[in-house]
Amino acid sequence: MASHSSGPTVSVAGKKHRFNVWRGDKEHGELVDYELTLSEGMVVLDAIHAIQATQAPELACRWNCKAGKCGSCSAEINGRPRLMCMTRMDQVIDEGATTVKPMKTFPLIKDLVTDVSFNYRMAKRIPAFAPKPKDERGEWKIYQYEVDRVQEFRKCIECFLCQNTCHVLRDHQEVGFAGPRWLVRAANLEMHPMDQADRIEVIKEDMGIGYCNINKCCTEVCPEGITITDNAIIPLKERVVDRAYDPLMAFWRSVTGTENK
Ligand code: SF4
Ligand code: F3S
Ligand code: FES
């Protein structure tokens, strides 16, 4: 379910609305109350910018594109992990004062800005694309169904809302689970028809795929509508199980001397 704004807009122009915005740093912080008069077509990021412009010039938030494509403006809006730039005020105005908090899973830097460097460390664990040799005509032959299988994984904008939502990362980062975004990345590479690297051991040991109990919360919040659990994580779990525990696959590998990528 993509949470990008959709459906007909309802006019919010001229309406007064309250916002409770998290202000503070890693030592202390609190929700601060602001009131704004909304303008037509406003999204939550516009409201944050209006608060910055008129009431709190030092309010920190991260954003770049205001188009749902850079993945920078992730926050928790009325308790739901969402992109601020893709959450229209008419979608939340009936819920009372709008609460805007930083992502909870990552260490707070200031106000709505968190330190997401955990993700870059996890990214480094994944072996890079390792292309197969081209054919005698110097080409790669890829079938459309092979493109279709990985296409959705390439839509990831690295907003880290799935990482923020996953209860394993939220409560047990110390176990070493890489998280759904990086399992999407690993699936993208593992299912790439022209890739020949073998990442199964890395996915099992270094990325800790076994910690995922497929509760699908990550899929629910993905603004790109990527079917993270069903299309990326479960197929990777199946490959890990095949490798580790399937006696037929082990026999096949011993006969053919191949890995079952
Ligand atoms: Fe964001 Fe979806 Fe990518 Fe996760 S998989 S980082 S929710 S776009
Ligand atoms: Fe976490 Fe998604 Fe698995 S929320 S537990 S990675 S299905
Ligand atoms: Fe780029 Fe929101 S500002 S996704």
C-beta 161 within 6 A of ligand 1: yes
- pLDDT of 249 above 80: no
> Does the global pTM surpass 0.85?
yes
- pLDDT of 257 above 70: no
Question: How much is the mean pLDDT over the chain?
Answer: 93
Residue nearest to atom 4 of ligand 3 (CA): 68
pLDDT band at 30 (very low <50, low <70, confident <90, very high): very high
Ligand 1 atom with the shortest distance to the CA of 165: 7
The backbone torsions φ and ψ at residue 248, rounded to the nearest 5 degrees and listed phi first, read -65, -45
The bridge status of strand 29-37 relative to strand 98-101 is unpaired
Ligand 3 atom with the shortest distance to the CA of 74: 2
Ligand positioned closest to the Cα atom of 217? 2
Residue nearest to atom 2 of ligand 2 (CA): 218
C-beta 162 within 6 A of ligand 1: yes
Q: Write the single-letter amino acid at 60.
A: A
C-beta 209 within 6 A of ligand 1: no
Centroid of ligand 3 to alpha carbon of 82 (angstroms): 10
Question: What mean pLDDT is predicted for residues 227-254?
Answer: 86
Can you give the pLDDT at residue 197?
A: 95
Can you give the pLDDT at residue 259?
A: 56
Residue nearest to atom 8 of ligand 1 (CA): 156
Centroid of ligand 3 to alpha carbon of 259 (angstroms): 41
Question: What mean pLDDT is predicted for residues 23-52?
Answer: 97
- pLDDT of 256 above 60: yes
DSSP 34-91: EEEE--TT-BHHHHHHHHHHHT-TT-----S-SSS-S---EEEETTEEEEGGG-BHHH
Residue nearest to atom 6 of ligand 2 (CA): 180
* Distance of alpha carbon 228 from alpha carbon 202, whole angstroms: 19
- pLDDT of 1 above 50: no
Ligand 3 atom with the shortest distance to the CA of 83: 2
- pLDDT of 47 above 60: yes
- What is the tens place of the pLDDT at every residue in 128-177? 999 999 999 999 899 999 999 999 999 999 999 999 999 999 998 888 99
Give ligand 3 pocket residues (Cβ under 6 A).
Answer: 63-66, 68-73, 83, 85
- For residue 212, CA distances in Å to 171, 216, 227, 238 come to 13, 9, 15, 13
- What is the tens place of the pLDDT at every residue in 186-203? 999 999 999 999 999 999
175, 168 contact by CB (below 8 A): yes
Query: What torsion do the CA atoms of 237, 242, 243, 249 make, to the nearest 10 degrees?
Result: -160
Can you give the pLDDT at residue 3?
A: 47
Centroid of ligand 3 to alpha carbon of 50 (angstroms): 16
- What is the tens place of the pLDDT at every residue in 89-135? 999 999 999 999 999 999 999 999 999 999 999 999 999 999 999 99
